[in-house]
Amino acid sequence: MEPLTRHHGLAVPLGRANIDTDQIIPKQFLKRIERTGFGQFLFYDWRYLPDGSPNGEFILNQPAYQGSSILLAGPNFGCGSSREHAPWALLDYGFRVIIASSFADIFYHNCFKNGMLPLVLAEPLVETWRAAAYERALWLTVDLERQTVTDDVGVQHAFTIDPFLRTTLLQGLDDIERTLKWAAAIDQYEVQRRK
């Protein structure tokens, strides 16, 4: 997994509350077992018209937001079923940071397991940034080491995060990689156990 220490990116606003995992990645696209290739189906029912052509009114299809890597989401983002495909689709599309005032718990933890930072900030601040991002290109810098977010006019906001989850992203460790750090001790235990 790629470490995340500091990320500078263009923010895209999507302020709808209670966006569930079926809207993030609809169920008909869950037939694959790879973690890649889901970005093309992200927010499919909103990004595309019934005939399959792009919906020009949906924010991710607008030219000003192409290349966005920070999503300014509404409250309770990622609710619904616990599908891990939702973070896969967001990451595959190009998002590294999602900022919202609240997340569904399983979705929140699945983001960390896949190298993406779900950042909880106060709703008034997130709403201020969403409003700014509708008006102009809004660039944010998220510094996970210093635990700050700085907007493009230089205003800095501190955030708190669970130390274990922070370390997971800083070191780029998924569950398997974290276990493999203990491979020598596990091997030693197995040898001793056989005696």
Query: Does 180 reside within a domain?
Result: yes
What the block records as the tokens of 47 is 């990004």
Query: Does 1 reside within a domain?
Result: no
Query: Mean of the pLDDT values across residues 133-142?
Result: 97
Query: Does 126 reside within a domain?
Result: yes
Query: Domain containing 41: what range?
Result: 6-194
Query: Mean of the pLDDT values across residues 9-35?
Result: 93
Q: What is the pLDDT of residues 90-102, one digit of tens each?
A: 999 999 999 999 9
Q: Over 90: is that where the pLDDT of 186 sits?
A: no
CATH number for the domain spanning 80: value is 3.20.19.10
Query: Does 102 reside within a domain?
Result: yes
Given phi > 0 = left and psi -120 to 50 = alpha, else beta, which region is 181? alpha
Residue 188 DSSP one-character state: H
| Domain tally, the chain | 1
Query: Does 99 reside within a domain?
Result: yes
Supply the pTM of this predicted model. 0.92
Terminal-residue alpha carbon distance, the chain = 36
Q: What is the pLDDT of residues 51-76, one digit of tens each?
A: 999 999 999 999 999 999 999 999 99
Run of H or E including 36: none
